[in-house]
Structure 1
Amino acid sequence: MRGFLRAGWLGLGLTTRLSPDRVLGWAIASATPDRVVLEAPSPLLTTRNIVHLDADRVYWTTEVTYDRFPARQLWAVAVPIHELVIPARLRHAAGPARPGDLQHRIVTTFQRRLGNPVLSRLPGQTLLETTGRSSGLPRRTPIGGRRVGQEFWLVSEFGERSQYVRNIQADPRVRLRLHGRWLRGVARLLPDDDARARLKSLPRLNSTAVRAFGTDLLTIRIDLG
């Protein structure tokens, strides 16, 4: 999560050094027992996070000042992720959560709102089509993996929490779009397979992303034909 947040703060001029007067690089502008103000000035914009406590609630306010072009455009890109991460972090702090829940929520929301719609339109993107377990309608998910003979191998980053994996559990019959051509197959979940070792034999870029963001890796084999 720290790495994910730092990647999203590029351009804010945050320091990476550890210091008692900073929080993940944000300077503590002021602090009292019930109010903390964090600041991150940069050449493009100035950002302040204000955390305020009362008897039974935590309030988080973010103030952004656009100093130069294209600060407004950059912040517009960050807003959807910001509005997802902050409430999720507060909920996580308020009570127990399953390990990886926050990471799963952030990644899947990003995929659903932006990543999957864009990737699905790329003609060379590999797509997995499952049948919705409740709706009975076809559901298409961009995936990465590799074909070996009449088998296609992939690794799900969130295992049985992934919607397409749950669809496979209900109906393993799938379709796979490879190089623009649709093929039928039967998907099989392989929980006993070493998913991290499997990633080493799959395309590097996709494997790097799965390894970085995944919390419950699960190997899947699709028997084609």
Structure 2
Amino acid sequence: MDFTLNGKGGYTKTESYDDETTNKLVEHYAETIKLLGEDVNREGLEKTPLRVAKAMQFLTQGYQMDPEEIIKSAMFKEDYQQMVVVKDIEIYSMCEHHMLPFFGKAHIAYIPKQHITGLSKLARVAEAFSRRLQVQERLTTQIKEAIQNTLNPLGVAVVIEAQHMCMQMRGVQKQHSVTTTSDFTGAFLNSHSTREEFFNIIAGKLH
């Protein structure tokens, strides 16, 4: 999905989807709606299979992204060996067990050794992995590993806090539960003080 200048001072949304994939998904979602007991031909549902087919492709677009290449696209040599933290990165993902959303915030930090990357690339890495069928535990580790493997820093820290609709809408139905996962390498794993500094930063209000 892209946004292009329309010449009138505004932007027009343009969407691009694979036609073959879209058509197959439309067939499956139409059949699913019928199996649930609805009339797929009534006015309110007539275009729903197409809308869902496009929505699901958008929500899982991370499969088309290479997180390590995202980092490499803005990778620079820099003599800086202090903590770099990007916190409160919004994430939206789909639980692979029930295909219901989970959403929240990711906090990412690394300590450069020789290379840094553009700050927005850390958010894009989180986006690339979250826009897939996921579990929060794997998502946390995948973000960590992509940064560690690409930048080879002195350490990486990732913490994700998320609410899961599979817990809130079905099953146990606990409305205010938040799941927190974390993963660390290097200095964040081996140094209590470094890890504590990271937690203080993401918990604090510096802005």
TM-score relative to the length of structure 2: 0.25
TM-score relative to the length of structure 1: 0.24
* Richer in helix (by share): 2
Relative contact order, higher structure (CA 8 A, sep 6+): 2
